[in-house]
């Protein structure tokens, strides 16, 4: 078994290490650096990537990955785990979905992989190597120095401020679709959304490299402690199920489960500003067993009232029969804010996995 090399640093078999890769300097006087945790087993096997914080406020999976790696023994592991707990450090510190920098058009890390522009934004001709935003420089390091080492990737997300959601996204493109769907089943969230993954996302770019990649989206920000702990338990169980599925650990066989494959995801956003009073909130979605809340078309999801006059200005209703997988906390919202999303029953199908054998 050879050492595992990442960011130009070698990790011996049967050991673990925390590696840093400087990307740029910051005006606060320190470096912008990416940190990776590597657990390198003594026996060969898959290389599983765990990436969190591509969007700044989506931080709950950081806790989940920490717990999953805490007791992972490199002596018993087959293969390697590479965890990047904060993929977008500046946005993480800012608590912002995008990096608040001059070139904000290129500040969304999940839209700028692999960090190199094919054409100049201003003028004609190819883009110069220096013509990159700070965020694109982060994407380039991940795209060139981390993702190519992986065989499998879990790219964790939790969506926008004030919402919670529970699903896994699986792409419909590339040569590893069937393996990615099985990876999602192994992770264990019962709602699996199939969509064409954008090539400039972390998951999409990894898929283009031949990595079997999925995006578990589970959790939210500012949850009550009990709900946050429940989310962490689900994330840890999912990571451990994936490692057992890939033969990296000797965990118990994955228990059969029922999964909903869906593609139609109608979103509900208010047309008016106001104070949102939901009938379903993130805790309802995340702490249900299994996660998600069934609704019928026309069911009341929330009311909005004018915080100045107290008049009801809008009611939000379910656009279709299905499972609410995303919901928003009560509080003030602008028109067009993310409020709810439904995995529509129409066009979906339920499957059992692993399939029963006789």
Determine the topology of domain 264-347 in CATH: OB fold (Dihydrolipoamide Acetyltransferase, E2P) (2.40.50)
pLDDT of amino acid 116: 84
Residue 253: CA count within 13 A, CB half-sphere: 7
Q: Please state, in angstroms and rounded to a whole number, the distance separating the CA atoms of residues 313 and 311.
A: 6
Start-end of CATH 2.40.50.100 domains in the chain? 264-347
Residues 123, 90 contacting (CB under 8 angstroms) = no
Cα dihedral sign, 105-109-115-116: negative
Instruction: Report mean pLDDT in 10-residue bins for the chain, 358 residues.
Output: 96 98 94 98 98 95 98 97 98 92 86 84 74 93 98 95 94 87 96 92 96 97 94 97 96 85 97 98 94 97 98 98 97 97 96 80
Q: How far apart are CA 4 and CA 86, in angstroms?
A: 21
pLDDT attached to residue 197:
85
Q: What is the CATH number of domain 4-255?
A: 3.40.630.10
C-beta of residue 244 within 8 angstroms of C-beta of residue 252: yes
Number of CB atoms found within 10 A of residue 61's CB = 27
Report how far residue 140's alpha carbon sits from residue 127's, in angstroms, rounded to the nearest whole number.
14
Quickly list DSSP for 113-158.
TTS--SS-SSSSSPPPTT---HHHHHHHHIIIIIGGG-SEEEE-B-
pLDDT at 135: 95
Where does the chain hold its CATH 3.40.630.10 domain(s)? 4-255
DSSP reduced 3-state for 226: helix
Token duo for residue 206: 């990894």
Contact status, residue 352 vs residue 256, Cβ threshold 8 Å: yes
pLDDT of residue 358: 52
């Amino acid at each position: 078994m050879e050492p595992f090399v990442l960011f130009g640093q070698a990790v011996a078999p049967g050991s673990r290490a925390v590696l840093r890769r400087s990307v740029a300097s910051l005006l606060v006087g320190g470096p912008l650096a990416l940190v990776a945790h590597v657990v390198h087993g003594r026996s060969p096997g898959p290389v599983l990537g765990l990436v969190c914080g591509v969007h700044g406020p989506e931080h709950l999976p950081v806790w989940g990955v920490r717990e999953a790696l805490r007791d992972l023994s490199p002596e018993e592991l087959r293969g390697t785990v590479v965890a990047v707990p904060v993929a977008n450090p500046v946005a993480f510190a800012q608590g912002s979905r995008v990096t608040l920098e001059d070139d904000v058009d290129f500040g969304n890390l999940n839209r700028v992989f692999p960090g190199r522009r094919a054409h100049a934004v201003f003028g004609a001709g190819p883009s110069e190597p220096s013509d990159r935003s700070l965020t694109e420089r982060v994407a380039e390091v991940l795209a060139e120095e981390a993702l190519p080492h992986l065989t499998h990737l879990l790219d964790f997300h939790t969506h926008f401020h004030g919402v919670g959601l529970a699903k896994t996204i699986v792409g419909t493109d590339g040569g590893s679709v069937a393996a990615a769907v099985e990876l999602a089943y192994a992770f264990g969230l019962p709602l699996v959304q199939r969509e064409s993954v954008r090539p400039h996302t972390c998951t999409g770019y990894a898929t283009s490299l031949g990595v079997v990649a999925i995006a578990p989206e589970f959790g939210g920000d500012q949850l009550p402690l009990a709900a946050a702990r429940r989310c962490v338990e689900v994330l840890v169980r999912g990571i451990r199920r994936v490692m057992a599925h890939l033969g990296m650990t000797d965990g118990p066989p994955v228990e059969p489960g029922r999964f909903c494959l869906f593609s139609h995801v109608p979103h509900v956003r208010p047309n008016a500003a106001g104070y949102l009073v939901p009938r379903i909130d993130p805790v309802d979605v995340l702490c249900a067993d299994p996660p998600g809340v069934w609704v019928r078309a026309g069911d009341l999801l929330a009311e909005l009232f004018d915080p100045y006059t107290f008049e009801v200005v809008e009611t939000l209703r379910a656009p279709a029969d299905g499972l609410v997988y995303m919901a928003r906390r009560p509080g003030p919202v602008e028109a067009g804010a993310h409020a709810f999303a439904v995995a529509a029953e129409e066009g979906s199908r339920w499957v059992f996995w692993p399939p029963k054998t006789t």
